[in-house]
């Protein structure tokens, strides 16, 4: 167990300023307290080995990149485009394979002369070349660090390109890596751009079915989105668009018609969810399709929102059928997992989402945290208004939208809305901390030193995080599970996904390879012998 | 797969589509890891460090520890000096490395941070060292970054403090795997030479699983060794792109003669490496090496009919592709496409010789081929569409072309993200050539077996 004294000892190794800072990012859950405050979305101190990335990674890498029928040009030196190329496992398929650009990486590969004289001309040439060869309907331009510094006006380049190719949608994103304090700034920038220039650009006016949804913040890692989509379609929903896993410009531009927005990853997409409500009157529902109980709850909440008898019946029938299917499948894995403990440190939602699934397998999450979340992801959205914006957050433009004169529709009457809000998380996320148990640790922006120290003390049976700390922890002899890319497995969403996850976790725990960590000569003495007789007494 | 890539080649100048290179800082980070007890430090946004660590980790499946200056918008406007000073203090207090190796990024280069001065005036704990390299991402490639950090090791640390040169030699292995570095050191040992390899990631990027995490594993060139490189009597720089600059600086700074050789991949380049050591030590080549070489040539001859005349496309880092091309030619294969993402010339960088060297080899073999530096995989794919090959040799990124064109791929070079073991076993030296030969031979034979009719399936091949 960790208490404040042990925590103080750990932090005591830091220089004074670092200690003062980090102390506010670590909370020991006290169930007696109504609310515990944690510091989040603030700068990582230089020199501290963090897992965090940059605004560009959040914008192009996370939110924009999965849009499959869009050419994503990365304006900058080669690295940024290269690293965000096929590394995230956001799967996508298209009926017309010539409209799927996922396997392509477009970098303007800025050279020294572009830095000195400006890179707008090169970017313009790149646009001409991709339009000619790829014939996309939409193009995004994402800026990397030097672009903002040298003053390339990518917005103007996009405008000029649109004038030249009016049939193509061009959007520019000033998501330079130094903006904000983590990927989170990039999510916001991408949300603003999609809302301003893509969503609502389609000419669909009528909703295709009364149960039409958008799924927000689902990136189809390892096929999660496909699993969710199939489940929802079977129950009777129509999915207009997924933001943005296996998503497309074609579908996204008509996202305004839907009756409800589901929010899976709150952190990366809550801005669009909010703006869709203001602009088109579409409420959003916080769902979690990771874990069986969470999936069931999400399905029931959705059915309740529509309050349609047939939908409710199909939901219950689906749940019953799937539960029966997975129960026996899960049994052997549960036997291996039962009684184990986990650390769960992931981006901005999964640190919370996976705790329920772990619990279903009998695994207790004793430490959890987010890499780039805000306080509301920990404490709940009710605290948003009380968050004081620091300079780093203020640098990210906050887009405000107005109700659309023609397209705003009241989806649910205000009275019904209030009634529903009592029962289901409509336009609301409760955050991670409420569902954690007494004594568990919540760490924001967990760093290398704290990882080592907390593992030494808490000795978890499984450590779930990302690629950068995976092998650090594995060297310690502790099984790991990457929850950013699922260690190239998945899907983990829905009922079938839970079984995949259980299989993979059980595999990591039960792998016979762990038996060979210590060579036999370390556990056996070099010389062996035994005492033949006692000689002393008779002498 | 890659359905948008047309066969018809048009001239492009707007940048790269599917690059065959990445940026300098990644190479600098890898080189830094080849110093014992070193923490690489990325002076830029957090994203740079996160991407480089993730990418190196995917290739090696090992921890890659590195810190960052965590630039924010403020730092980008007012300069990153304060961030770097804070970082230096925190790194030595929290992580206690022997060496902190700082490299720049396009961000800190564009705003013009004077890292040399910041490093010089930083408060460094007694017995600790900071070195730095300028690695702007808008010049060269990850190979240039590796070269620049290796050069920084010489610049900051090498000293000629002995009256006479020692008989020891320096070996700069270039951007190769720890398995290759081990093999190259073994060859020097067999030649009876005392050597200092730098950087040396063996024992760092192929560390064992023990149940304990060592932030600074046993391997890597020590600071003491790096200082002593100035007292050596010869530097063998393997691969001109990754290793020549450091060797030339060492020659200038400490008067250690530099000899630039090809990366010892394949029989001929390994012969040249051995001959250079033989000449230096004035010692005959031991039978053990003669045996290894003889075995390699034996296999090459035994199964020459498996690969003779087969057309091959090779891509990757310039030093590696040059050596591979030479090896393919010595097998009687036809390397008709050779491509590297690293440019032949960059402002401020040395003039590379990729195109000249490879074209020269093809000419000598009376072969027509496409050879290009600073090119991308979109181009390579188009070449292959226009002139198909029997085999593709390159990094993991080649798998999409391989699938689109139904060509077998042998994974060689950096990065390999979808296979294991590659970083542990060598492709350098005679043993490494034997391993390469096995991979190539198996790929070609498995393709024949996959495609042939039942009656043509041979028991013996």
Instruction: Check which CATH number belongs to the domain holding A69 and give it.
Output: 3.40.50.1980
CA nearest to B91, candidates B158, B32, B149, B26: B32
State yes or no: is A80 an active-site residue: no
* Assigned domain for A388 exists: yes
pLDDT tens profile A38-93: 999 999 999 999 999 999 999 999 999 999 999 999 999 999 999 999 999 999 99
Residue B351 has pLDDT above 90, yes or no: no
* Assigned domain for A367 exists: no
pLDDT tens profile B279-324: 999 999 999 999 999 999 999 999 999 999 999 999 999 999 999 9
Give the mean pLDDT of A247-251: 98
State yes or no: is A187 an active-site residue: yes
Domains of chain B: 24-157 (3.40.50.1980), 169-207+214-289 (3.40.50.1980), 291-456 (3.40.50.1980)
Query: Does A174 lie in the same domain as A65?
Result: yes
- 8-state DSSP, B351: P
Residue B189 has pLDDT above 90, yes or no: yes
Do the Cβ atoms of A315 and A183 come closer than 8 Å? no
A149 and B107 within 8 Å at the Cβ level: the answer is yes
A111 and B346 within 8 Å at the Cβ level: the answer is yes
* Assigned domain for A293 exists: yes
A115 and B75 within 8 Å at the Cβ level: the answer is no
B13 and A518 within 8 Å at the Cβ level: the answer is no
Give how far A362 is from chain B: nearest CA, Å.
Answer: 25
Give how far A504 is from chain B: nearest CA, Å.
Answer: 19
**Given pLDDT bands bounded at 50, 70 and 90, which one contains residue B113?**
very high
Query: Does A404 lie in the same domain as A259?
Result: yes
Chain A's closest residue to B15, CA to CA, is: A108
Final residue of a structural domain among A423, A449, A483:
A423
pLDDT tens profile A351-388: 999 999 999 999 999 999 999 999 999 999 999 999 99
* Assigned domain for A158 exists: yes
Query: Does A250 lie in the same domain as A316?
Result: yes
Query: Does A413 lie in the same domain as A288?
Result: yes
> Which of B21, B62, B138 has the CB atom closest to A110's CB atom?
B138
Query: Does A222 lie in the same domain as A152?
Result: no
Final residue of a structural domain among A392, A423, A454:
A423
* Assigned domain for A97 exists: yes
Chain A's closest residue to B217, CA to CA, is: A475
pLDDT tens profile A251-269: 999 999 999 999 999 999 9
* Assigned domain for A225 exists: yes
pLDDT recorded at residue A528 = 80
> Which of B12, B50, B93 has the CB atom closest to A15's CB atom?
B93
CA nearest to A70, candidates A108, A106, A100: A100
**Given pLDDT bands bounded at 50, 70 and 90, which one contains residue B349?**
low
Chain B's closest residue to A96, CA to CA, is: B3
> Which of B72, B84, B90 has the CB atom closest to A15's CB atom?
B90
> Which of A47, A78, A466 has the CB atom closest to B22's CB atom?
A78
Residue B438 has pLDDT above 60, yes or no: yes
* Assigned domain for A295 exists: yes
Hunting for tokens 């996202």 — which residue is that? A255
Give how far B2 is from chain A: nearest CA, Å.
Answer: 7
**Given pLDDT bands bounded at 50, 70 and 90, which one contains residue A1?**
confident
Query: Does A234 lie in the same domain as A131?
Result: no
Query: Does A416 lie in the same domain as A282?
Result: yes
A53 and B14 within 8 Å at the Cβ level: the answer is no
> Which of B47, B87, B136 has the CB atom closest to A47's CB atom?
B87
A54 and B48 within 8 Å at the Cβ level: the answer is yes
Number of Cβ within a 10 Å radius of residue A324: 10
Q: Dihedrals φ, ψ of A169, to 5°? A: -90, 120
Give how far B196 is from chain A: nearest CA, Å.
Answer: 28
Which residues, 6 or more positions from A248, have their beta carbon under 8 angstroms from its beta carbon? A67, A68, A69, A70, A94, A241
Domain that holds residue A74: 55-178
**Given pLDDT bands bounded at 50, 70 and 90, which one contains residue B346?**
low
Residues B183 and B432: their CA atoms lie apart, in Å, by 8
State yes or no: is A434 an active-site residue: no
CB pairs under 8 A between A and B: 273
Final residue of a structural domain among A423, A455, A488:
A423
* CA distances from residue B406 to A28, A100, B152, B388, B410 in whole angstroms, order as listed: 56, 20, 44, 10, 13
Residue A539 has pLDDT above 60, yes or no: no
Residue A117: is it exposed, middle or buried by C-beta count within 10 angstroms (0-12/13-18/19+)? exposed
pLDDT tens profile B26-84: 999 999 999 999 999 999 999 999 999 999 999 999 999 999 999 999 999 999 999 99
pLDDT recorded at residue A2 = 87
Q: How many domains does chain A have?
A: 2
**Given pLDDT bands bounded at 50, 70 and 90, which one contains residue A537?**
low
B72 and A467 within 8 Å at the Cβ level: the answer is no
Query: Does A271 lie in the same domain as A412?
Result: yes
Query: Does A401 lie in the same domain as A280?
Result: yes
Query: Does A244 lie in the same domain as A133?
Result: no
pLDDT recorded at residue A535 = 59
- Report chain A residues whose CB lies below 8 A from the CB of B3: 97-98, 100
Query: Does A117 lie in the same domain as A64?
Result: yes
Q: Which two tokens stand for residue B84?
A: 């770097």
A475 and B207 within 8 Å at the Cβ level: the answer is yes
State yes or no: is A31 an active-site residue: no
Chain B's closest residue to A181, CA to CA, is: B72
Mean pLDDT score across all residues of chain A: 96
Query: Does A119 lie in the same domain as A235?
Result: no
* Assigned domain for A95 exists: yes
Residue B348 has pLDDT above 60, yes or no: no
A48 and B70 within 8 Å at the Cβ level: the answer is yes
Residue A239: is it exposed, middle or buried by C-beta count within 10 angstroms (0-12/13-18/19+)? buried
**Given pLDDT bands bounded at 50, 70 and 90, which one contains residue A523?**
confident
- Beta-bridge partner residues of B415: none
Residue A531 has pLDDT above 80, yes or no: no
């Amino acid at each position: 167990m960790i208490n404040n004294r042990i925590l103080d000892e750990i932090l005591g190794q830091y220089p004074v300023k670092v200690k003062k800072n980090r102390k506010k990012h670590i909370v020991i859950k006290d169930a007696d307290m109504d609310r515990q405050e944690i510091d989040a979305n603030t700068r990582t101190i230089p020199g501290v080995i963090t897992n965090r990335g940059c605004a560009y990674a959040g914008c192009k890498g996370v939110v924009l990149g999965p849009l499959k029928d869009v050419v994503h040009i990365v304006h900058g030196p080669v690295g940024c485009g290269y690293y965000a190329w096929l590394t995230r496992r956001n799967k996508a398929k298209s009926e017309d394979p010539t409209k799927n650009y996922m396997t392509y990486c477009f970098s303007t590969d800025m050279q020294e002369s572009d830095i000195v004289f400006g890179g707008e001309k090169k970017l313009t040439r790149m646009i001409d070349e991709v339009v000619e060869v790829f014939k996309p309907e939409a193009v995004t331009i994402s800026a990397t660090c030097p672009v903002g510094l040298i003053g390339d006006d990518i917005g103007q380049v996009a405008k000029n390109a649109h004038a030249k190719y009016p049939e193509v949608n061009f959007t520019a994103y000033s998501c330079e890596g130094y903006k904000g304090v983590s990927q989170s700034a990039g999510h916001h920038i991408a949300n603003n751009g999609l809302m301003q220039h893509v969503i609502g650009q389609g000419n669909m006016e009528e909703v295709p079915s009364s149960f039409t949804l958008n799924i927000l913040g689902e990136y189809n890692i390892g096929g999660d989105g496909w699993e969710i989509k199939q489940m929802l379609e079977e129950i009777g929903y129509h999915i207009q668009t997924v933001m943005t896993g296996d998503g497309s410009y074609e579908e996204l531009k008509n996202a305004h018609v839907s009756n409800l927005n589901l929010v899976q990853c709150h952190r990366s997409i809550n801005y669009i969810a909010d703006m869709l409500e203001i602009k088109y009157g579409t409420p959003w529902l916080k769902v979690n399709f990771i874990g069986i109980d969470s999936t069931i709850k999400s399905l029931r909440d959705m059915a309740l929102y529509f309050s349609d008898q047939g939908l409710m019946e199909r939901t219950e029938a689906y749940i019953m059928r799937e539960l029966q299917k997975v129960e026996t499948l899960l049994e052997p894995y549960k036997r291996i997992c039962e009684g184990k403990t986990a650390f769960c440190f992931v981006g901005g939602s999964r640190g919370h989402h996976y705790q329920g699934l772990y619990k279903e397998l009998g695994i207790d999450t004793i430490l959890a945290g987010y890499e780039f979340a805000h306080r509301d992801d920990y404490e709940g959205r009710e605290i948003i208004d009380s968050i004081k914006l620091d300079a780093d957050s203020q640098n990210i433009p906050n887009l405000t939208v107005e109700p659309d004169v023609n397209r705003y529709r009241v989806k649910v009457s205000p009275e019904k809305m209030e009634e529903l809000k009592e029962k289901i998380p409509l336009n609301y996320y409760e955050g991670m901390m409420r569902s954690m148990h007494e004594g568990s640790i919540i760490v924001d922006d967990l760093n290398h030193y704290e990882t080592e120290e907390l593992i030494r003390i808490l000795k978890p049976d499984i450590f779930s995080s990302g690629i950068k700390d995976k092998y650090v922890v594995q060297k310690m002899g502790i099984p790991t599970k990457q929850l950013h890319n699922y260690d190239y497995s998945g899907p983990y969403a829905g009922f079938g996904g839970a079984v995949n996850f259980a299989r993979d976790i059980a595999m990591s725990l039960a792998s016979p390879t762990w038996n060979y960590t210590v060579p036999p000569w370390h556990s056996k003495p070099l010389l062996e012998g035994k005492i033949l007789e006692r000689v002393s007494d008779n002498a | 797969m890659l359905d948008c890539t047309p066969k018809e080649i048009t001239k492009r100048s707007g940048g790269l589509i599917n690059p065959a290179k990445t940026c300098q800082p990644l190479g600098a980070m890898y080189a830094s890891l080849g110093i014992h007890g070193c923490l690489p430090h990325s002076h830029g946004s957090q994203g740079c460090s996160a991407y480089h660590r993730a990418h190196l980790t995917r290739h090696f499946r090992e921890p890659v520890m590195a810190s960052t200056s965590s630039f924010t918008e403020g730092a980008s406007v007012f300069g990153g000096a304060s961030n770097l000073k804070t970082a230096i203090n925190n790194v030595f207090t929290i992580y206690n490395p022997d060496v902190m190796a700082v490299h720049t990024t396009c961000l800190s280069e564009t705003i013009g941070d004077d890292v040399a001065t910041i490093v010089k005036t930083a408060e460094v704990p007694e017995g600790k060292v900071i070195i730095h390299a300028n690695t702007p991402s808008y010049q060269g490639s990850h190979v240039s970054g590796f070269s620049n950090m290796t050069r920084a090791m010489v610049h900051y640390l090498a000293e000629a403090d002995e009256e006479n040169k020692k008989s020891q030699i320096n070996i700069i292995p270039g951007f190769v795997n720890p398995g290759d570095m081990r093999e190259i050191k073994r060859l020097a040992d067999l030649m009876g030479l005392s050597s200092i390899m730098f950087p040396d990631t063996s024992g760092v990027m192929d560390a064992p699983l023990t149940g304990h995490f060592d932030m600074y594993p046993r391997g890597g060139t020590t600071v003491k060794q790096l200082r002593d490189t100035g007292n050596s009597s010869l530097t063998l720089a393997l691969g001109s792109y990754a290793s020549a600059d450091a060797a030339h600086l060492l020659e200038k700074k400490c008067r250690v003669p530099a000899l630039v050789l090809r990366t010892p991949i394949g029989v001929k380049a390994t012969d040249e490496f051995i001959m250079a050591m033989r000449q230096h030590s004035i010692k005959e080549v031991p039978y053990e090496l003669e045996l290894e070489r003889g075995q390699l040539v034996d296999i090459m001859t035994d199964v020459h009919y498996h690969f003779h005349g087969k057309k091959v496309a090779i891509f990757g880092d310039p030093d590696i592709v040059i050596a591979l091309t030479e090896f393919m030619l010595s097998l009687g294969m036809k390397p008709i496409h050779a491509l590297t993402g690293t440019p032949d010339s960059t402002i401020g960088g040395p003039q590379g010789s990729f195109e000249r060297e490879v074209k020269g080899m093809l000419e000598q073999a009376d072969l027509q081929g496409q050879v290009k530096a600073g090119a991308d995989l979109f181009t390579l794919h188009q070449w292959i569409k226009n002139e198909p090959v029997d085999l593709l040799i390159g990094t993991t990124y080649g798998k999409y072309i391989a699938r689109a064109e139904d060509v077998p791929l042998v994974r060689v070079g950096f990065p390999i993200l979808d296979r294991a073991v590659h970083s542990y076993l060598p492709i350098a030296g005679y043993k490494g050539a034997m391993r390469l030969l096995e991979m190539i031979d198996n790929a070609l034979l498995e393709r024949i077996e996959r495609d042939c009719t039942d009656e043509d399936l041979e028991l013996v091949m």
